[in-house]
Structure 1
Amino acid sequence: MSELSARPVLPLAEICQRIVAAPLFNQVIIGLILLNGVAVGMETSTWVTERFGDFLHGINELILAAFVVEALVKMAAHGNRPWRYFASGWNCFDFTIIALSLIPAAGPLATLARLVRVLRVLRLVSAFPELRLLVDTLLRSLPSMFHIALLMGIIFYIYGVAGYFLFHEIDPTHWRSLPIALLSLFRIVTFEDWTDIMYTAMEAMPWAWVYFVSFVVMGAFVMINLFIGVVLNNLEEAKLRRLDELQLPPSQTEILRELRATQEALARLQKRMQDIPLEPAEKTPGGSAR
């Protein structure tokens, strides 16, 4: 009884920090997200909703309550500064989905409420560090992708105008105006039966293949490889940043927590040493103590 009373009472923030840091906590949240995805998918079946509609509704309410508790625990883990929960973009993403999930599933917003249930599956992205790394990489690649898209837009415009002047009389279906010409170029760059357009133009202009082949090489192979190269480069940089974050020195809170744990372990060890009875010293045949 004395040993239990000697243990210090942990503050709420530290208890919540231990809960959030526990692997089981994240595994439970992932399981609930997967269960939510299965429940939403089953609601698309009329046969299932007619027989198990109330059961699925109960599961939805239970999952929503669990997500609300999760957000509150993570906020409480920051102690007297719960607003630091919103310092993480992924926490803001999760909180937005949870807040939207509170929309009532009846009335004019019923359709929106059902769509939000589907969006909860997106929380799997924030639950897995590997998926977060990929999303962060894509977001960091957007500025470079914008410049590549601008260059691709210039190439599309040049080839679109040239295609209009060259082929609008031969093949008005695909080249009768600049917007239609650009749409045809998009079809070509996606390799969707683009040879049909080329052969139609080659019936009147045998050298038209130069136009189409050069555009495929420029628009498809070069540009797509540029996009891939930018993403891979940013992915490597994101991995290096993550390694640097893992190698950061421990914070003051972590040091104090480890120091407190060490002090508690030393106190328990000292108490055990005090409880061990001392054995009497043995005497030698000569009468002296050994």
Structure 2
Amino acid sequence: MIELQGDAGMKGNFATRVAGSADLYKVNKRKPYHSVNFVIAHDGFTLYDLVSYNVKHNDANGEGGNDGSSDNFSWNCGSEGETADTNVKALRSRQMKNFHVALMISQGTPMMLMGDEYGHTRYGNNNSYGHDTAINHFQWGQLDAKEKNHFRFFAEMIKFRQTHHVFGREHFICKNEVTWHEDNWDNCDSKFLAFTLHDDDGRDIYLAFNAHDYSVKAVIPSPPEKRRWFRVVDTNLESPDDFVTEGVPGLGKTYNVAAYSSILLEAKL
């Protein structure tokens, strides 16, 4: 998932992971659902902290900040910790949505950390097990405050996965089930990935992830016969336009994928 943060040379690995990690699990009659996909686990940063802190802040643990891992694979989006910078806050919001999209469209079994659905923070503490405080308590008030934006996006993305079997195949993806719109696999500086997941009933899904710090004009492939592309997700847009369940029609042959954003298109009649 560090591909989404703009790390060089990670695009191929990212593609392998969202496709179900056949390199790791296609043995001993295992299926894609035997792999557990996650961005965040109970140890380490929360999703909010992953995009808000470059280093751990564990002084409150009483061990001089020496406890907890120093390898968090995080990026603070330009400012360490809490900030009033609206540009940084907007980027962090996009990044959290990007991570969630990647998790929900990946083959395998998704796992989320409770609290990420509203953006829970431990203020950079990545080893907080000993705190019986708001650092670890579920914040229902924050969930209510995010109900119409952050939480809504996360909930709708989960529903979308549940209603589209193309994301949860019981076999590893075959060549005729995915088209990688790539000619830049060997370029370590390429941080744009686009692909189409093909469905037997024509409900293809087109996905694009742009981890560059500039927009990319993506060429949209032709939809299946008698269908049109509808934009369901664009993480660069404000709520509720960032996720439109029924989709937005009228797309052209290209789409401007903004910096640090992702899009999802669905082929519909």
* TM-score normalised by the chain length of structure 2: 0.25
* Larger CA Rg, structure 1 vs 2: 1
Tell me which protein shows more helix as a share of its residues: 1
